[in-house]
Amino acid sequence: MKVKRGDVVMVNWIYSDQTGSKRRPALVVQADPFNQTLDDTILALITGSARRRVGATTQLDIDITTPDGQKTGLIFDSIVQCENLVTIDQNLIYRIRGSFTTALMQKIDACLKAALALP
Q: Is the pLDDT of residue 25 over 80?
A: yes
Mean pLDDT of 31-46: 97
**What domains does the chain contain, in order, with CATH numbers?**
7-116 (2.30.30.110)
Sorting pLDDT into bands at 50, 70 and 90, what band is 60?
Answer: very high
Q: Is the pLDDT of residue 54 over 80?
A: no
Q: What is the DSSP string of the chain?
A: ----TTEEEEEEEEPTTSS-EEEEEEEE-S-HHHHHH-SEEEEEEEE--GGG----TTEEEE-TTSHHHHTTT-SS-EEEEEEEEEEEEGGG--EEEEE--HHHHHHHHHHHHHHHT--
80-98: pLDDT as tens digits: 999 999 999 999 999 999 9
Paired with 44 in beta bridges are 27, 85
Whether this prediction's pTM lies above 0.85 is answered by yes
pLDDT (0 to 100) of residue 112 = 98
Sorting pLDDT into bands at 50, 70 and 90, what band is 51?
Answer: low
